[in-house]
Amino acid sequence: QKEVEQNSGPLSVPEGAIASLNCTYSDRVSQSFFWYRQYSGKSPELIMSIYSNGDKEDGRFTAQLNKASQYVSLLIRDSQPSDSATYLCAVDNAGNMLTFGGGTRLMVKP
């Protein structure tokens, strides 16, 4: 079992809808959680970080963390075609690295 799990997708949503991306992790001592966006052929770009249980909002993005369930999610409101990308969940378990999931490919259709 991988340490960080994501559904590979593709997740297809119509323009203007809410896209919901999910991630589970296995290490209970994990402390910091990140969402990266990666366009095809480009490097990962940090879009959200979350460190405590609950919701954190930044513009159209909301990150949600539930440490008891070992679950972190990313909501994208009013999805735009430019949001089409692969979204990578990353977890810091207080080691020497970030551990990434395999990514979920999001397609926003006009």
Partner 1 sequence: GAGVSQSPRYKVAKRGQDVALRCDPISGHVSLFWYQQALGQGPEFLTYFQNEAQLDKSGLPSDRFFAERPEGSVSTLKIQRTQQEDSAVYLCASSLRSWGQANEKLFFGSGTQLSVL
In this complex, which beta carbon is closest to partner 1, that of residue 17 or of residue 67?
Answer: 67
Structure tokens at 40: 């095809």
Here the tokens at position 49 are: 């970080």
Taken in order 21, 27, 33, 36, the sign of the CA dihedral is: negative
Least Å distance, CB 19 to partner 1, is 18
| Residue type at position 33 | F
Output 17 or 46, the one with its CB closest to partner 1.
Answer: 46
Closer CB to partner 1, 18 or 46, in the complex: 46
Q: Hey, what are 11's tokens?
A: 């997740």
Contact positions vs partner 1 (CB under 8 A)? 4, 6, 8, 32, 34, 36, 42-46, 49, 51, 88, 90, 92, 94-103
Rounded to the nearest whole angstrom, what is the least distance from the CB of residue 66 to partner 1 in the complex?
Answer: 20
Cβ count within 10 A of residue 65: 20
